[in-house]
């Protein structure tokens, strides 16, 4: 097994030179060593997290890398309603229990993901269910699920992805049809607070940096829910970054988000090299894509670093190494050559790693 590199002082850490430009100061970040990357938990000015699944905790190499780099773990799938809730409102939390136990046994704090999501639950919480039964089972699910881990979770994604895809409004879903567009969200936060009063409760969403209209709608929603009395304790931006967005767009969103005064979670960070379908052939070189990744990841890290310390909840990547990414797996995007995370499959630094380290250690 390759020996770990010596631990470096945070301020002295830079495994590769960073060329700065006026527009994209992180765009030229390049690795110059094949050594294992220095632990991210020693570099990031907040808990550094990644996702974990039950099959991964049986893999020694994954465990080694997670314990090397992480101080926080998010269950990637085991706490989603498609896994925890079955027909007849039967609950199964065994996989969730296993991931939470692994994290706690290894000194990692746990971030819960996710309680209420528009994408799941409609098979059981369907439109034919009487409204009184719907509301009662909704409350029971949240209180049972969240309460099961009372005092053991740092925070929860209580409501996930409530904003319409284009940012033009809020999503219509089975929850909103039964309990009201804002009502289902307020109710979820209230029930979660009753079940786990010390956890930080998050409103979580994606494409907030990528689509300014969606970011603005999300922040207005957070303000509205707070005015309605929802005990929101933090906001989560998933940060599945489009590496082609203009420089400065991430910074603008983070500055606007910070104005709410709530803790902010970079909750699902990745930055795909490959475009989704529906466009012209992608003629960018690998070097150009890597430069775009480094620029956007570095800008995000710099914007996170600029937050007051009390607002830096955690900095989490969706998967730790490239090989762990949902983008690579067959049940995800099935892109075996994708490289969208800070570490490669062997735990070495990708170019974006150096850009993030530069932002956090300068």
pTM for the structure as a whole? 0.91
pLDDT at 34: 72
pLDDT at residue number 276: 85
Sorted by where each begins, the domain ranges of the chain are: 40-361
Q: In this structure, are residues 324 and 62 in contact, taking their beta carbons and an 8 Å threshold?
A: yes
**Cβ atoms of 265 and 47 closer than 8 Å:** no
Distance between CA atoms of residues 224 and 206, nearest Å: 19
Q: How far apart are CA 19 and CA 22, in angstroms?
A: 10
- CA 33/CA 18 separation, integer angstroms: 14
For residue 5, the model assigns a pLDDT of: 32
According to the model, what pLDDT value does residue 278 have? 63
Active site residues: 161, 268
Nearest to 239 by CA among 279, 275, 211, 273: 211
Q: What fold characterizes domain 40-361?
A: TIM Barrel (3.20.20)
Q: What pLDDT score does 2 carry?
A: 30
How far is 275 from 355, CA to CA, in rounded Å? 21
| pLDDT for the residue 93 | 98
Q: What is the pLDDT of residue 67?
A: 98
pLDDT (0 to 100) of residue 27: 52
Q: For the chain, which residues score pLDDT lower than 70?
A: 1-33, 278
Q: Given this model, what pLDDT does residue 239 score?
A: 98
pLDDT, position 280: 79
Residue 15: what pLDDT? 31
Q: What is the DSSP string of 160-211?
A: E--B-TTSSSB---HHHHHH-TTHHHHHHHHHHHHH-TTSEEEEEESSTTT-
């Amino acid at each position: 097994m390759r020996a770990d590199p010596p631990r470096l002082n945070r301020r002295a850490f830079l495994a590769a030179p960073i060329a700065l430009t006026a527009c994209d100061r992180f765009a030229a970040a390049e690795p110059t060593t094949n050594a294992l990357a220095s632990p991210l938990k020693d570099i990031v000015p907040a808990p550094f997290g990644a996702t974990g699944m039950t099959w991964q905790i049986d893999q020694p190499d994954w465990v080694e890398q997670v314990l090397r780099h992480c101080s926080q773990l998010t269950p990637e799938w085991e706490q989603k309603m498609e896994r925890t809730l079955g027909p007849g409102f039967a609950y199964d939390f065994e996989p969730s229990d296993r991931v939470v136990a692994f994290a706690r046994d290894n000194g990692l704090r746990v971030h819960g993901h996710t309680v209420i999501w528009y994408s799941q639950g409609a098979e059981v919480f369907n439109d034919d269910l009487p409204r009184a039964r719907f509301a009662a089972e909704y409350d029971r699910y949240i209180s049972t699920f969240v309460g099961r881990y009372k005092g053991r979770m740092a925070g929860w994604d209580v409501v996930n992805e409530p904003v319409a895809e284009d940012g033009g409004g809020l999503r219509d879903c089975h929850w909103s049809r039964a309990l009201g567009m804002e009502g289902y969200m307020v109710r979820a936060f209230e029930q979660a607070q009753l079940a786990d009063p010390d956890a930080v409760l998050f409103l979580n969403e994606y494409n907030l940096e990528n689509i300014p209209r969606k970011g603005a709608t999300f922040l207005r929603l957070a303000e509205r829910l707070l005015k309605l009395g929802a005990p929101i304790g933090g906001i989560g931006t998933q940060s599945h970054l489009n590496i082609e967005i203009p420089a400065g767009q991430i910074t603008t969103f983070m500055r606007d988000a910070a104005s709410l005064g709530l803790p902010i979670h970079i909750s699902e960070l990745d930055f795909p090299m490959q475009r989704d379908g529906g466009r012209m052939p992608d003629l960018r070189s690998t070097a150009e894509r890597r430069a775009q990744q480094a620029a956007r990841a570095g800008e995000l890290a710099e914007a996170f670093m600029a937050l007051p310390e009390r607002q830096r909840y955690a900095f989490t990547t969706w998967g730790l190494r490239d090989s762990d990414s949902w983008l690579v797996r067959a049940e995800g995007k099935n892109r075996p050559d994708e490289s969208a995370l800070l570490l490669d499959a062997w735990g070495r630094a990708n170019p974006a790693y150096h850009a993030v380290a530069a932002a956090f250690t300068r």
